[in-house]
Amino acid sequence: MNNGGNALYIQSGGPTAVINASAYGVIKECRKSAEIRRIYASEHGILGVIRKKLFDVTEEMENEDRLPRTPSMIFGSCRYEIDEKDPQKKDYEAVLETLKELDIRYLFINGGNGSARAGLRLGGFLRERGYDAKLIVIPKTVDNDISCIDHAPGYPSAARHVVLTVSELARDMMTYDTELIMFAEVMGRNTGFLAAAALAASEIGRGPDLIYVPETVFDQQRFISDVRMVLEEKGKCFAVIAEGVRTADGRFLFEDTSINKGMDMQKNMGGLTPYVSRLLRDHFDCKIRGIDLGLMQRCGAHDVSEIDREEAEEAGRQAVRAAVRGETMKMVTIEREKGPVYRPVYGLEELEQVAGSDKNLSPDYVTEDRRFIKREFLNYIMPLIGELPEYTVLRNPYV
């Protein structure tokens, strides 16, 4: 029976603009609990636990009130995976040794679907060894591919960044009266939620003409035809393409070794911009602009969704409350209350259910021609990204 102890917070996976808000929520809520004596945070994810590199955040940190607005991951992460085939389970034993040494009885893992699966395995090992600890996962991802949840903290802010940037690029594209093809590569290894969010740019004046997501096959020749059609009609074309789109044979675009020569494809997720640029230049003579929105999608906090920040912090608080109640091996969930006004509803889901599958963008949101997103998606995304700026639109006729 768990009679209290110390807490450990772990940031896992890739950064988001609001993961430090979840850290803030965890830390502040832990301090309120009589069951939790000291609070630790791991440096560089699970590696910090294995190597016993932990921060003691029991006492208030310097400028702690700035933490929710601090970009990226203040405690760091890693790409290290515990070797499940190791018969001696050295990594797991090292983790257990750290937990015992510091009497850690509450574990909070802040990560995505891979982190949920890692938490499930770690929790299973601790149970096998008879170590009593409460383990709760706090969701986080910009891809929005965690199952059993309406949306994950981190996604709304990344989506807002995409919407604002695409809107700005679409306006820049109209500056000159020359033909131009522009495309933006956005994140999304297996899901098109971020690419689909670009649709909302149209709500503030200008948006993309074409949107391609991983949930449908990317046909290069069809893409060229789509671009040509828009170019002939408008004189310009703007496409948004998710990094994880695949061809009919199941290959990512960035796996074209004639472009990415000598690169390890497993380490080169994304990077389709050079391929698409060459593909377009092989078929068009006009100016072509390929823009990779890059890491700013996931770590930029200058255009964060305030709704996202609030939910991320509350998810951290909810995790602590659940653990102190005795819940374990679960993930905090966020659903939306039915009705015309958006309100988040927090809950818990078994890690086994979360780890069982990933979430994809519903094909119902993709147009039949597979080159755009239906307006129905706006009902999903608009409440999450917050109020958008208003721009001037010229409507005066020519003299």
Q: Which residues are catalytic?
A: 143
DSSP code of residue 366? B
DSSP code of residue 198? G
Question: How far is 313 from 135, CA to CA, in rounded Å?
Answer: 18
Question: How far is 141 from 206, CA to CA, in rounded Å?
Answer: 27
Buried b vs exposed e over 186-214: b needs ≥16 C-beta within 10 Å?
A: bbbebbbbbbbbbbbbbebbbbbbbbbbb
Tokens of 108: 């909070």
DSSP code of residue 396? P
Q: How many CB atoms lie within 10 A of CB 258?
A: 7
Residues 40 and 103: beta-carbon distance below 8 Å = no
Q: Where are the alpha helices (DSSP H) in the chain?
A: 19-32, 46-50, 90-101, 113-128, 155-173, 193-197, 220-234, 273-281, 296-299, 306-325, 351-355, 377-385
CA dihedral 89→95→98→99, nearest 10 degrees, is -110
